[in-house]
A and B are shown apart, each in its own frame.
Chain A
Amino acid sequence: MANIFVLVEQEGDGPTTLGLELLAKARTLGEVTAVYVGTGAGVDVLGEHGAARVLQTDPGDRLPAGPVAEALAERVSAESPDLILFGQAYTDRDIAGRLAARLGVGVLSNASDVRLVEGGVETDHEILGGSQIATARASRGPFIVLVRPKSFVAESTGGNAPTVEELVLPAAGSAEATVSESHVEEREGPQLGDASIIVSGGRGLGSAEAYELIERLAKQLGAATGATRAIVDSGWVPYAKQVGQTGKTVKPDVYIAAGVSGAMQHMVGMKDSKTIIAINKDPDAPIFSVADLGVVGDVHDVLPKLIEALEAR
């Protein structure tokens, strides 16, 4: 049976949804070891989602990537897992990159699916805005694959409590970074990754101030707010709101794109939403090619009326 390592980050009192998505895939491929980064709270959830064993490690106030990659590299050399899965997420990427460099292997990044094949690993990648699927093959392990969020569905199988071992980190050295403070940004409404409705704004809003229309509409709908790279780059909204290739992948029930043209970079992050509603002045905007309802019009006319109509209900 194949031996699969999965990196799972702890957030709050349990594993991240992304980590559980990876476990759902990993358990179909072989025996699963979860490498759990955090204080260890919620460790049983990993068993319920298919991990037979947990290597738990708590970096404390050390930035995790350096020490965790070093400790994990030793484990990988000792146990030769057939596959090491990471999510396309902040700390996952940091650990995966350092681990790969330590082990002298490449990574397969941004995968939407992964298969074990004769002599290696095969992964699927959505390219060119998701219009095409590239299948990549790696022939020399250890195989490190980073999977985009929402590629698999997290589901408990009611598995047993896992055996838990500590992954002992190396002593802190001078060439590493420390976390001195953690700030939780107060936000209203749901997070982008979990929201069932998302309202996103793009360059068509015309100004940073007009993003307020997105926030007001989102409030009426109990939705999360998103953004295109163009307005993040312009500094109108923070990077955390970015939906797309270099931002977050979302699959809400309803995605409302206001003043969004539909650049490839954006589409790959939202095109799998169940229902897409687009409002844009340009009748030829690519976003209309994926929209269930496309409104050719000015967001400054349509959004205030829409907000008013919802307020009146």
Chain B
Amino acid sequence: MKVVVCIKQIPDPATPYTLEEGTNWLVRPDEQILDDGDRYGVEVGLQIAEANEGTVTLVSMGPSGNGQGVRQALAMGADKAILIEDDALRGSDALTTARALAAAIKEEGFDLIIAGTESTDGYSGVVPQMMAELLGVPALTYATKVEAGEGSVTIHRQTNAGYDVVNAALPALVAVTAGVVEPRYPTFKGIMDAKKKPVDNLSVADLGIEVTSDQTVASIAEATARTAGQKIEDEGEAHLAIVALLEERKVI
């Protein structure tokens, strides 16, 4: 089975994000990390490939920087990576991103595409669905459990009330939620092997896609800041201050 996993390198969310003057695009430093949410997608892809004599190809779009995030996913066990990088794609919207990823995946061929539910830096939350539409396959989304084999895939899809069991024939796309599986840590051998794995680089011209952007960030303004209230040190009685405030707010 041919499994493709979409991943993204993002600026470390633990560091303050900055915006580029003029465009208000997110500044992407050379040093980026694998989006934490993507480790789950990689793990799901690896488990399915292992159970179905398959392969895992990573596909990623964006400035590759020092490539640390992609190497981490390769070190977990993926077979190869395809990186889409082109200045023409800077500041691209969700649709352009989906077009680029879908074009690369179509060229590569696939039985199953795994993606995260949303990226941590952009979080438009619609790229997997757009890719599925462009590729003409069903998108099984918000997966909290995934089982695939024998030409079909079944997931538990998170709902407001609980979950639905959703099935589809392959080829299909599955978007997973964080926590769906326990991602493995790269082994030392995995890290060494990752250095020898094939990484293909593609540009917009290679993919032959249309790059549109009809959206701009017109302005940025400070939000009304909430002010901090009282701060107390717990010396054994702080719970009483909480009880008093809950009483004052008439919720108890």
The answer to whether A136 and B217 have CB atoms under 8 Å apart is yes
The answer to whether A180 and B179 have CB atoms under 8 Å apart is no
The stretch among B57-65, B80-88, B131-139 that forms the contact with chain A is B131-139
Told that A101-B131, A293-B242 touch, could you supply 10 new A-B pairs with CB distance under 8 A? A65-B129, A106-B212, A109-B126, A133-B222, A136-B218, A179-B166, A235-B179, A246-B117, A264-B13, A295-B241
The stretch among A20-28, A39-47, A75-83, A169-177 that forms the contact with chain B is A169-177
State the interface size on chain A (CB cutoff 8 A): 97
Pairs across A and B, CB under 8 Å, 29 listed: A63-B157, A66-B139, A93-B125, A97-B128, A104-B212, A106-B212, A109-B124, A127-B220, A130-B223, A131-B223, A133-B220, A134-B219, A139-B216, A176-B168, A177-B166, A180-B166, A232-B178, A239-B144, A253-B251, A254-B246, A275-B249, A279-B238, A291-B229, A294-B228, A294-B229, A294-B230, A296-B234, A302-B238, A302-B239
Residues of B154-195 at the interface with A, using a CB-CB cut-off of 8 Å, are: 157-169, 172, 177-179, 182
The answer to whether B129 and A109 have CB atoms under 8 Å apart is no
Q: Please pick, from B127, B131, B238, the residue contacting A297 in the complex, using a CB distance under 8 A.
A: B238
Residues of B134-148 at the interface with A, using a CB-CB cut-off of 8 Å, are: 134, 136-142, 144
The stretch among B1-9, B69-77, B91-99, B198-206 that forms the contact with chain A is B91-99
A-B contact count (CB 8 A): 280
Residue B27 is within 8 A (CB to CB) of chain A in the complex: no
The answer to whether A288 and B228 have CB atoms under 8 Å apart is yes
Q: At the interface, is chain A mostly helix, strand, loop or mixed?
A: mixed
Report which B residues bind A (CB closer than 8 A): 13, 16-17, 24, 36-37, 93-96, 98, 117-118, 120, 123-134, 136-142, 144, 157-169, 172, 177-179, 182, 212-223, 225-226, 228-234, 236, 238-243, 245-246, 249, 251-252
Residue A105 is within 8 A (CB to CB) of chain B in the complex: yes
Which chain A positions have C-beta within 8 A of B163?
182-183, 185
